[in-house]
Amino acid sequence: MRRLFGPEEEAFRSEVRAFLADWADLDAYLCHGPKWPRVAALFRALGARGWLSLAWPKAHGGLGLPPSYEYVLWDEAAYARAARNPLLTIVARTLLRAGSDEQRARWLPPIRAGEVHFALGYSEPEAGSDLASLRTRAVRRGDRYVVDGDKCWQSYAGHVDQLWLLARTGEAGSRGAGLSLFLVDRESPGLTLTPLPTLDGDALWACRFDGVEVPAERRVGPEHGAWRLMAEALADERHIQFPAGRLRRDLAELAAWLRETGRERDPVVRREFAELAVQVREAEVLALRVVELTQAGRSAVAEAAANKVFHTELCQEIARRAFAWGGPESLVVGARVQQLWRQSLWETIGGGTSEVMRGVVARQALGLGGRN
Amino acid sequence: MIAALELDAERAAVRDAVAAWCRDTEAAAFAPGRWRELAGLGVLAVGADGASGARELVASCEALGAAAAAGPLVETFVALRLLPDAERERVVAGEALVALGEPPLIAFAPRAQVFIELAGGRAYLAHPRGPVVPLDTLAGDPWGRVELARERELPGLAEALAAGRLAGAALLAAAGRRALELAAAHARARKQFGRAIGEFQAVAHPLAAAWIRVLAAEMLARAAAHDADAGDAGAAGLCASAWLSARRAALEAAARAHQSFGAVGITLEGPLFGLTRRIRQWASLALDEAGAHAAAAAAAGLA
């Protein structure tokens, strides 16, 4: 399937691999939090090479390359278990589309350099899949907004510099038409972050906003205009959200483990492993289809949702099969099999549940479903 | 990036031409005259002379699969990569029909003029040792039981199997997609409890799940075809994976489509049976399943 990339992209892949060889010990893809200082160092190193702005327009300091280069980078980073694509890219895309000149001048250079990081402040205790029902309010008072409310389940919030906050600026009941986006300093008075330790050794965070003052110039895009910006940013990011490198690595580690333990000789195991291998290829081609459509400037809504469902359910399936084959050995804390199981449980929830994604596919590809 | 997962204009034209022929004829029922017409379109000849043509093969098979086209399609694509020139020319022209498989039960044996036996990972040109006992099968094709006498071994089975698996993958994926299109159209139109049944997630989500698998299978077949035409060493393994993928996807699509259609889906003259029985029959072709699994495992590090 590597034949689907051209010689320039393959040369870039080689360059990425050589770079990542120095980060082979990082092993942070499955769990960023405890290793955050070194993860941040990796992002700075990526930024120094211009690789955090591969597909940005040259006018904004990017390299102006096609989206396929971004896929190659994050696919290799996933295979190397180095790190996931950081959330800063969503912020950057939105600023490029809708930020003011001052905001771009203030934020794009440090984003490009990997010197500033963001956590998405979207979900709330009562607003998960139904994000348009969120209640955290931002009320305009003169040259600033005052934010009150509770956010929950934020990834990396305790480590990053800024929160990318989605808050209600419209009337209660205004749903998606009453939401705005803000850049909120993590050190803001009145903002309290509480870790919620998770099964994988990382943590999600609860974020309490108690009269947090946010300067008006930190609102990105028009007031009440967040919904469209979020959709557009998502479209820009679809091709790098779930690169297949993670699955290839899961499978490679599983193969090594089967060889080490002698389980590879079991014909049932071999058959089931082959079925997983076919599915990893399916996941890869689904991911590449999203890249291809994105590169062509075509909609990839259904395909991206399909890729998300397939990728995330497959990484869980790989972990479950490994448990089934490994028996008691897979229960030993520290075994990679167990880490895969613990971590992969989150994948079908974060970033849009499988149920929501199937709903997207049903609507977009088959014209089915009763809700938008 | 090479946009290989999208059919280019040339291959899309091939697919559309074959699809137009399928619409204008009763492609789903076998008839010798129609088979010769198909041969006349040049569909059987694609890649048969050893030249590249995997993408044309996939494009043609996408159209034939959506139409549940009858005839020993996969068997012919395999045979044409095994046969000596004289036999190959007759098959390419649609003048000789191929029966290929593991005896005694072989598809199209009662109508065939060319017999190829598959056994132990080898292929043999053969002829009937005695009379062929005709049998009806699920898809209505003429099958038969026959004992074969081997004439000589035919080299090149690995390459031929790769082409057969690729064709099978494209046929199955396209048929699965068509089944889902029909089921979705039904779910949008059929009302129960005062609304279209497709508005219920219990109906919509299983169809969506099947659509995802079919999409993956389609894309895998196209990627395999691209790699095959590029001469990539891993292309044969990818063809094997594509076949396994499409088999699973199409069978799931067929099952989901039947469930969505309800009672009308199980009527003999209903909208679905002609397609789903063909899916079941194509999914049962003997293309060395164990070998395909072994290839997939080996490519992932379990040799």
- Ranges of H-type helices in B67-104: 73-79, 85-92
Strand segments (E) across chain B: 98-101, 105-107, 114-119, 122-128, 133-136, 142-145, 148-154, 191-192, 195-196
Q: Which one of A70, A124, A237, A292 is the catalytic residue? A: A237
One pLDDT digit (tens) per residue for chain A, 372 residues: 667 899 999 999 999 999 999 998 999 999 999 999 999 999 999 999 999 999 999 999 999 999 999 999 999 999 999 999 888 889 999 999 999 999 999 999 999 999 999 999 999 999 998 999 999 999 999 999 999 999 999 999 999 999 999 999 999 999 999 999 999 999 999 999 999 999 999 999 999 999 999 999 999 999 999 999 998 888 888 899 999 999 999 999 999 999 998 999 999 999 999 999 999 999 999 999 999 999 999 999 999 999 999 999 999 999 999 989 988 888 888 778 888 999 999 999 998 999 999 999 999 999 999 654
Which of B182, B212, B251 to probe by mutation at the A interface, max A CB count within 10 Å? B212
Chain A partners within 8 Å of B219 (Cβ): 282, 285-286, 288-289
Report if residue B204 sits inside a domain: yes
Chain A partners within 8 Å of B245 (Cβ): 278-279, 281-282
Report if residue B210 sits inside a domain: yes
- Count up the domains in chain B and report the number: 1
Residue B245's domain spans which residues?
158-299
Q: Considering only CA atoms, which of B300, B253, B165, B232 is closest in space to residue A279?
A: B300
Strand segments (E) across B137-270: 142-145, 148-154, 191-192, 195-196
Report CA-CA distances (Å) from B169 to A306, B64, B139, B150, B273: 20, 12, 18, 29, 20
Q: Which two tokens stand for residue A186?
A: 């993590």
Give the predicted TM-score (pTM) of the model.
0.96
Chain B nearest C-alpha distance from A311 (Å): 11
Report if residue B250 sits inside a domain: yes
Q: What is the value of ipTM here, to two decimals?
A: 0.96
Choose among B2, B204, B215: nearest Cβ to A369.
Answer: B204
Report CA-CA distances (Å) from B148 to A301, B38, B287, B301: 53, 28, 19, 39
Report if residue B101 sits inside a domain: no
B9-35 pLDDT tens trace = 999 999 999 999 999 999 999 999 999
Report if residue B17 sits inside a domain: no
Q: What is the rounded distance in angstroms from the CA atom of residue A272 to the CA atom of residue A265?
A: 12
Residue with tokens 């990728």: A311
Report if residue B14 sits inside a domain: no
Q: Which two tokens stand for residue A325?
A: 């084959």
Chain B partners within 8 Å of A244 (Cβ): none
Report CA-CA distances (Å) from B190 to A214, B183, B185, B198, B277: 52, 10, 9, 8, 23
Chain B partners within 8 Å of A1 (Cβ): 223, 227, 238
Chain B nearest C-alpha distance from A57 (Å): 19
Q: What is the rounded distance in angstroms from the CA atom of residue A85 to the CA atom of residue A239?
A: 11
- Residue B283 sits in a domain whose CATH number is 1.20.140.10
Neighbours of B268 (CB within 10 A): 6
Q: Give the DSSP H/E element, type plus range, for residue A118.
A: strand A118-121
B38-75 pLDDT tens trace = 999 999 998 776 667 999 999 999 999 999 999 999 99
Asked if the C-beta of A325 comes within 8 angstroms of chain B's C-beta atoms, the answer is no
A276-299 pLDDT tens trace = 999 999 999 999 999 999 999 999
Asked if the C-beta of A259 comes within 8 angstroms of chain B's C-beta atoms, the answer is yes
Report if residue B260 sits inside a domain: yes
**CB contact set of A191 (below 8 Å; sequence gap of 6+):** A163, A184, A207, A208, A209, A210, A212
Choose among B205, B215, B217: nearest Cβ to A358.
Answer: B205
Neighbours of A232 (CB within 10 A): 15
**Looking at residue A172, what DSSP letter applies?**
T
A237 is catalytic: yes
Q: What is the rounded distance in angstroms from the CA atom of residue B126 to the CA atom of residue A70?
A: 54
Q: Tell me if residue B72 falls in helix, strand or coil.
A: coil
Report if residue B59 sits inside a domain: no
Residue with tokens 């048929």: B175
The letter for the amino acid at B13 is A
Mean pLDDT, to the nearest integer, of B293-298?
94
Cβ within 8 Å, pair A288-B5: yes
